Amino acid sequence: MNSLIVLAYHSINEKPHSDQTAPLSVHPEDFEAQIRYLLSRGYRNIRADELGLKSPSSAITGKRRFLISFDDGYKDNYDVALPILEACGCSALIFLSTNGIENSSTGEQRADQYHTEISIPYMNWDEVRIMEAKGVEFGSHTLSHAHLSSLNSDTLRQEILQSKQLMEERLGHSVEWFCAPYGDYPEIVYYIVRQHYQLSFLTYAYRSVLRSRPDVISRIGVYGHNSLNTFKLKLLRDRLRIV
């Protein structure tokens, strides 16, 4: 049974930005209730840098721990989620789609060519740095939130490696964690990622995948329509999943 829980969020917002983004937006009260439920059950919030390098399972065996992660880098992670994290004494790992962060930082708040269906504003680099100073960690979610399996090899490498390079330039340190958009993680992506990152994260990864790829960590997706009871059921299913 799994002793590490990794939660995957996107947006924390009382009012979704559109009907299309509603599933991605978790209400702030629900977000806090989910965190406090885990804390009440004896789970300790951890940072990604506590997982160990390349072999995270050795660092978590037999201990109840949970890690909070976010995808994309939306502005409400800074405005709404950060105060809740601080109130609960927790940190988080945010995977940035760097084109969105870069556009926001230059005043061009717009969707990119692959992510046109999402209208949620992104953070800018100043907000990212403030969050990092408060203990939040950051990883790569590619340049443009592309479906990686649809790209040719050159574009694929650009998405994976240039996002890492840009983050390292903007933040001034190495970036060691990666998460593929849409859970789109074919073998070629795994081959490139494992050469340049220490760990990668995949929502609802099969146990067979995890056994053959010890540097891949499974996550539980949490969405706006999930009640607290549904959240608890997801945790139970994750602990019992053996596929």
Query: How far is residue 168 from each of residues 39, 70, 122, 194, measured CA to CA in Å?
Result: 33, 19, 18, 17
pLDDT at 59 over 60: no
State mean pLDDT over 39-52.
93
Question: What's the mean pLDDT in 31-52?
Answer: 95
Mean pLDDT of 97-106: 89
Q: Rg for the chain (alpha carbons), in Å?
A: 17
pLDDT at 136: 98
Domains and CATH numbers, the chain: 4-240 (3.20.20.370)
pLDDT mean across residues, the chain: 87
151 backbone dihedrals φ, ψ, rounded to 5°? -100, 150
State pLDDT tens for residues 157-212. 999 999 999 999 999 999 999 999 998 888 899 999 999 999 999 986 555 555 66
Q: What does each C-alpha distance from 57 to 30, 48, 60, 106, 211 come to in angstroms? A: 29, 12, 5, 40, 11
- For range 48-69, the mean pLDDT: 74
Residue-level pLDDT at 55? 52
